Amino acid sequence: MILPDQACRVNDGMASVRGAGLASTLYAPDQSTRVRLSTPLLNQGQALAPAKWDDAVELGARVIKAVLDRWGADAVGMKFFDHGGGGGGFENNWAVGRFFFTGIGTRTASIHNRPAYNSEVHAAGDAGVAALTNSYLDAQLADTLFIVGANPYETQSNYFLAHMVPNLQGATLETKRASFPGEPVEAARIIIVDPRKTMTVSTSIAAAGTDRVLHLQIEPGSDIALLNAIARVAVHKRWHDVGFIRERTETQTYEAYLRSSLGVDRPIDEFLKEAARTTGLTVAQIEKAASWIASPKAGGARRRTLLHYEKGLIWGLKNYENIAAIVDLGLLTGNVGKPGTGISRLGGHQEGYVRPPYPGGRPALNVDEALRRGEVKCFWIGGCNPVLTTSRAAAFEQNLKERGAIVNEALLATANAPVERRVTAVIEALKRGGMFILGQDIYLTESMKHAHLVLPAAQWGETNLTSINGERRLRLYPKFMDAPGDAIADWAILARFAKKLRTLYLADKNPLMANRFMDFDWRTAEDVFIHARYTFKGDGNDGIEGYAGVTYDLLRKLGNNGIQTPVRLVAGTPVGTVRMHEDGRFSTPSGKARFIPSPQPWPGYAAAVTAQRKKYRFWINNGRSNHIWQTSYHHRHIPFYNDRFPAPYLEMNAHDAKSLGIQSGDMVELHNDVGTVQAMAFVTDAVKKGHTFMLFGQPRGAAGDLISEHVDPSTTIPYYKGVWADIKRIGPMPESARKSSLAPTNIAE
Ligand SMILES: Nc1nc2c(c(=O)[nH]1)N[C@H]1C(S)=C(S)[C@@H](COP(=O)(O)OP(=O)(O)OC[C@H]3O[C@@H](n4cnc5c(=O)[nH]c(N)nc54)[C@H](O)[C@@H]3O)O[C@H]1N2
Ligand SMILES: Nc1nc2c(c(=O)[nH]1)N[C@H]1C(S)=C(S)[C@@H](COP(=O)(O)OP(=O)(O)OC[C@H]3O[C@@H](n4cnc5c(=O)[nH]c(N)nc54)[C@H](O)[C@@H]3O)O[C@H]1N2
Ligand SMILES: [Mo]
């Protein structure tokens, strides 16, 4: 059992259903986690077989070098973790960045959850606003919580339950009074913008009562219209923060925003009616939201609103305009850089993003497309499982399979040959359209099965690792157990390859290339942490990961409360940052925030999406569930979790289910122009007619198999949530699911 820490400010000793089960996910030779990868595996042509590290690195590094020398850096592709906990962390992210960017120099890089190497929130970056601006404390202090496209009960459980819910219950009034003398304080209200009636909605109602909860059950992808309409009302009622706008923002951008996004040259009635039509809401609901967000409190004090968004907006209709619209609304109402406010991603996982700059431009190169075009000769998949999680996932897998098979032949033909001959044979296979695949994971996942070389990683707890949470709280996760067998930390894997490449280039008398792989002589995880600390310059957006003067020793002393990044040295002492932009400055050249105008109040669906919508009956909204972490990489092995959802569920409205003869528990097939996938029907009032919701990225049915390759052209970010398909019943509940409950999951008391 891993015990939650009562003295930790983040969870107050609380544990989510995932956190409380963490210990069961650790490696144990006598438990189901014994299937962890424990040695490198090499495909000798027919199957993966255990190999020694030296042999694995020798072959892998020589293939990479040959590809680099013959086809150039961009022929070496990668898709890698950038989170904090499982994979990633400051140490591993730094090692990956050093290897692929300053080492290889490839632009064919992509982050685990998307086809390119880019920000999820370019618009916030362009506005000069950090991705994670507030402290969790601000959720206790806010007058209004505004949650757009996120389901924090399930995805940010501790933040929601330990910080938001107490405020909704009125349990933080003392803190509020102490923080804001003279201001009227009451329990918070919450506005949740989500097409589904989620457990977040039900829990909020249970905590605050129906009068203080506004659930805006919008039509898919209509957030921009809603956010701009709310802003228009705020301006119309003169609830916007004139002082903040004048002093802290670039005025020309404000004026452009008023005209284009908020359509101030058009009559407000017409504007609001149009927004109501687009969103499926009423004008009264939009006005109520505006009032809860921006109307002054009794006595005239500004309302403190905390604006949060996550994947319903990020993977939404149009990433750039989506994020712009919420950031603009926050700026308009002056809700950033003050207690009880913020404009932030909600998060829901650890982060630790330190890397040298990406060598490509913006929009970043679409790696999935480069793969489809056959431009990638060598592809390294690290700590992610795109076979389940990318768009057009089945085609992605087929590509790995077909092109990998060409290399398998070469490996089989040279099974007992010296490494030089094997590499020559592999390169010949690559010339014939093959692709050499390296994989780096802790399990033999759906993606790893296609790798020619599988590299076993140590996970958190098996190596020292640091990361930040959603309020930038930097903490050390110390090593407390050994990794299985020969598994080693991710940074150490990259270091082994880098050192080998350096040796090979030195032997080639090519010091220029050899020197690109120079700085990998780290002895410990802390060496990597400190190396990153000295060299990391912030990656364009907001530099929230800076941590001057922080050492493992300091982090050990600070324990689970850690220190909030960015950390500066003040007279030699590291000082953290509770809240971003509290000094009134933003990360733009002028130091003032920028409004990001969108060309019109709502851009509409892209052509590829419209075609799907027209053709298929159901919207297949998709995302996460409380019990399951990501692709279930641990949970599929642990009965407690696996038995809860033996197949991915598909939430369906009772009316729709009935019309198709479907009952809860039935197996159904979803089908569209991209692919086919199976799921288990779950009839619920959480979704409206014509809407469904599927657990994403599951081994027994991946929503990605239905999702088109469409991306927002200005950011290369997919619309994962935007998929339409037809549904049919294929059979009764599978035997394996008989024990799993079909009771509603969105009832709270
Ligand atoms: N239990 C659990 N927690 C997790 C994870 C997990 O796998 N399991 N994963 C972690 C990770 S990596 C991430 S990124 C976060 C994601 O955290 P969230 O973003 O909270 O999770 P999602 O379920 O992907 O999406 C949130 C909501 O977006 C809604 N949505 C879909 N389309 C739209 C739309 O057009 N507009 C609006 N307004 N809403 C829409 C969906 O109905 C859904 O309820 O969760 C983290 N936390
Ligand atoms: N349809 C649809 N698709 C989506 C989304 C969606 O909402 N809908 N959401 C997107 C989002 S936000 C995300 S985050 C992605 C998730 O997609 P992925 O990132 O592909 O999924 P994960 O399960 O997080 O993958 C983590 C992998 O790392 C391995 N791992 C764990 N710890 C370690 C470690 O210490 N080292 C190494 N090397 N490996 C480790 C695990 O075994 C697992 O295979 O999916 C994206 N795709
Ligand atoms: Mo994510």
Tokens of 481: 């157990």
Q: Is 696 in the pocket of ligand 2 (CB under 6 A)?
A: yes
- pLDDT for position 538: 58
Contact 694, 628 (CB under 8 A): no
- Using one digit for the tens of pLDDT, what is the confidence trace for 492-516? 999 999 999 999 999 999 999 999 9
Q: Return the DSSP state at 416.
A: T
All structural domains of the chain with their residue ranges:
1-35, 39-117+352-523, 133-340, 607-737
Alpha-carbon gap, residue 223 to 289, rounded angstroms: 13
Check residue 37 and report its DSSP letter.
-
- Of all protein residues, whose CA lies closest to atom 14 belonging to ligand 2? 113
CA separation (Å) from 748 to 202, 217, 379? 6, 18, 46
Q: What is the CATH number of domain 39-117+352-523?
A: 3.40.50.740
Listed residue (604, 621, 712, 613) closest to 274, CA to CA: 604
Contacting residues for 489 by C-beta, under 8 A, at least 6 apart: 91, 92, 457, 458, 462, 463, 465, 483, 525
Residue 167 has a CB neighbour count (10 Å cut-off) of 28
- Tokens 């898709």 map to which residue? 79
CA-nearest residue for atom 32, ligand 2, is 86
Q: Where are the beta strands (DSSP E) in 576-648?
A: 618-623
Share of the chain above pLDDT 90, in %: 94
Q: Ligand 2: does its nearest atom lie under 6 Å from the Cβ of 455?
A: no
Cβ-proximal residues to 409 (8 Å cutoff; 6+ apart), any chain: 45, 429
The whole-number average pLDDT for the span 407-419 is 96
Ligand 3 centroid – CA 624 distance (Å): 10
Choose which residue among 605, 624, 632 to substitute to test ligand 1 binding: the one with the highest number of ligand atoms within 8 A of its C-beta. Answer: 624
pLDDT of residue 121 exceeding 90, the answer is yes
User: How many whole angstroms separate alpha carbon 289 and alpha carbon 258?
Assistant: 19
Do 702 and 393 meet the contact criterion of CB atoms below 8 Å apart? yes
Residue 347 CA to ligand 3 center (angstroms) comes to: 8
Distances (CA, A) of 527 to 270, 491, 533: 61, 11, 10
Tokens describing residue 666:
């039935």
579/575 Cα distance (integer angstroms): 12
Q: What is the mean pLDDT of the chain?
A: 96
CATH 2.40.40.20 corresponds to the domain 607-737: yes
Task: Please give the number of the atom of ligand 2 that sits closest to the Cα of 460.
Answer: 35
The pLDDT tens digits for 172-227 are 999 999 999 999 999 999 999 999 999 999 999 999 999 999 999 999 999 999 99
Beta strand residue intervals within 261-396, DSSP E = 305-309, 342-345, 378-382
Select the highest-mean-pLDDT range: 43-47, 535-539, 672-676. 672-676
Tell me the ligand closest to 470's alpha carbon: 1
Task: Please compute the mean of the pLDDT values over residues 438-467 and round it to a whole number.
Answer: 97
Tokens 């949530």 sit at which residue? 721
State the pairing for strand pair 109-111/76-80: parallel
Mean pLDDT, residues 307-329 taken together: 98
Q: CA-based angle 331:332:336, to the nearest 5?
A: 30
Q: What pLDDT, on the 0 to 100 scale, is given for residue 539?
A: 52
Q: 733 phi and psi, to 5 degrees?
A: -55, 130
Q: How far is CA 630 from the centre of its chain?
A: 10
pLDDT at 84: 79
Atom of ligand 2 nearest to the CA of 390: 47
- Among 83-87, 458-462, 650-654, the least confident range: 83-87
Q: Distance between CA 500 and CA 520 in Å, rounded?
A: 10
* 157 has a pLDDT exceeding 50: yes
Looking at domain 133-340, its CATH superfamily turns out to be: Dimethylsulfoxide Reductase, domain 2 (3.40.228.10)
Residue nearest to atom 12 of ligand 2 (CA): 113
578: closest CA among 5, 116, 141? 141
Q: What angle do CA 630, 343, 317 make, to 5 degrees?
A: 55
Q: Give the pTM.
A: 0.98
Matching residue, tokens 């409190």:
297
Using CA positions, which residue lies closest to atom 16 of ligand 1? 311
The size of the chain, in residues, is 749
**More confident position, 535 or 65:** 65
Q: Distance (Å, rounded) from C-alpha 112 to C-alpha 102?
A: 19
Return the best residue to mutate from 114, 146, 197, 311 for the ligand 1 pocket (most ligand atoms within 8 A of CB): 311
Is residue 559 left, alpha or beta, with left meaning phi > 0 and alpha meaning psi from -120 to 50? left
Asked if the domains at 39-117+352-523 and 607-737 fall in one CATH topology, the answer is no
3-state SS class at 210: helix
In the predicted structure, residue 422 carries a pLDDT above the cut 50: yes
Q: Which sign does the torsion angle of CA 181, 182, 183, 185 carry?
A: positive
- What pLDDT band is residue 540 in, cutting at 50, 70 and 90? very low
Per-residue pLDDT tens for 695-732?
999 999 999 999 999 999 999 999 999 999 999 999 99
Angle subtended at Cα 166 by Cα 301 and Cα 693, rounded to the nearest 5 degrees: 105
Give phi and psi for 717, each to the nearest 5. Answer: -105, 130
- Burial environment of residue 563 by CB neighbours within 10 A (0 to 12, 13 to 18, 19 or more): buried
Collect all residues with Cβ–Cβ distance below 8 Å to 128 and sequence separation of at least 6. 586, 587, 588, 591, 592, 593, 594
Say how many Å lie between the CA of residue 697 and the centre of ligand 3. Answer: 11
Phi-psi region of 94 (alpha: psi -120 to 50; beta: other; left: phi over 0): alpha
Q: 621 CB under 6 A from ligand 2? A: no
Closest Cα partner for 350 from 208, 440, 476, 183?
Answer: 476
